[in-house]
Amino acid sequence: MRTLYRKFVVATLSILTISVITGFILANWVYMTTTKEKIDRQNVEVAEEIVSSLEGMHGHQSALSPYLESVGKLGYQVLVIDEKGRKTFFGEPFSKTDLSGEARKVLEDQEIYHGMSEDSSRSFVMEHFSNDVRNTVGVPFTSNGQQYALFMRPNNKLLFSDIHMILAWFVLAVSVVSIIGMIWFAKHLIQPITQLTEATKELTRENFHYDLTIKRRDEIGQLAQSFTTMQRQLKHNNEARKSFINNVSHDFQSPLMNIQGYADLLKSDVAEEERNEYLEIIDHESKRLSHLTKQLLILTSLDQKAYPMNYSEVQVEEQIKQAIRRYQWLIEEKGIEVSYKLPSRRFKYDAELMTNVWDNLMTNAIKYSGRGDSIWIGLNDRGSDLVITFKDSGIGMSEEEMGQIFDRFYRVDAARKKGGTGLGLSIVKQIIDLHKGNITVQSTVGEGTIFTITLPSK
């Protein structure tokens, strides 16, 4: 299997290779189109200066050789050909000394030879450094009545001076460091991906506690953060599933046994009055199971600390009024009077969760109120906090009952008679806690109950 690390290294080296080739082609094109003609022209000017000095040495033929030797020592390679074709070299010798037909015209036709720019055998920039007599410029000159041809080019050692060697070592060092840095970066890049792969394997083993130590601010860091969020959500779902099973087995046994028992009784010969009674019990227990299932699903989703809150701006009074309208039929059926003071107020909280709060408090107030009782709902501010009050004039609670009403599955005797599940107020308490709020209860037996919710602003 080709690893991502290997692919990254191969891709980087390939890009580096392509870049070098492209750079060489571009440099070669620039050299062939402009640079070599400029170099040729500059060298012709130097050669003409040299022959001008030579031609100015009238009667000093003996000074010609020392002068050209000094030119050679200054970093030039010089070839002088006389009328008889004799060749004399000054400075570093050429590795190839055969003259082309164009070069011979310098002596024969007194023409300037442009070997650096016009020699068709050199089509690459590296040919500029060829130690060939053809890779020169040639100019004719006359000394003491004799015709000569002078061919010259800069010595390659001059081209590769100390500064050029320093530059070459600099380029080499940059290349080596770049490759080493690229390999190190590839390992640094792949390491968190490897860790994410290992964490994924742990998730398949239901290990939701694998700790990712990836602290980055780039895309990989975002991926790690998303993975951690997913890990928390999977852990939440797994624990919610187990909690649901435990709660079901705890509180479902009694109604299921009742349904089974009365269903068996219906199979026997019973009176019509008893049959209707048994059917009513089965219907009641079935509805109780349905309501309990709904409450458990809400509770298990809230039971984990990593519950994903979805805050948004909500018109609070409208949401509470909707809860009142949902249970208007039950309010009218029981003859309960509902009043409220709900000024317009926008507040930021999880709208879906708070809908469960209003529903549970509303149904709780209706359940424990009788005909002629009243329910009052208030909304006001306390600084930047939001305060909501649900007050009823129902049966009320004792001090002992008030201390346990938020416990899961706790039901007072009245709640058992009215088919309560013991989960509604536990759900309310957990939702308020998730919002970092507070809920208090005040109650007097026979006089009613007041629930007060305080929500801090976000």
- Give the model confidence (pLDDT) of 29-84 as tens digits: 877 777 778 888 888 888 888 888 887 776 555 678 888 888 888 888 888 888 88
pLDDT at 346: 92
Helix ranges (DSSP H) in 205-327: 219-251, 253-267, 272-302, 316-326
- Among candidate residues 429, 448, 427, 442, the one with its CA nearest the CA of residue 365: 448
- pLDDT, tens digit, for every residue of 181-193? 777 877 777 777 7
pLDDT at 412: 58
- The domain at 33-159 falls in which architecture? 2-Layer Sandwich (3.30)
- DSSP character for 418? T
Rg (CA), the chain: 49
- Backbone φ and ψ for 94, nearest 5 degrees, come out as -80, 145
| Model confidence, pTM | 0.42
What ranges do the domains of the chain cover? 33-159, 164-237, 309-458
What's the CATH fold of domain 309-458? Heat Shock Protein 90 (3.30.565)
CB 382 within 8 A of CB 405: no
Structure tokens at 251: 């509180």
Report percent pLDDT > 70 for the chain. 85
Going by pLDDT thresholds of 50, 70 and 90, the confidence category of residue 338 is very high
- pLDDT, tens digit, for every residue of 190-220? 777 778 888 888 888 878 777 777 777 777 7
Residues 6+ apart with CB under 8 A from 116: 36, 39, 40, 43, 128, 135, 136, 137, 153
- pLDDT, tens digit, for every residue of 350-405? 988 898 899 889 988 998 888 889 999 999 988 889 999 999 999 988 888 888 78
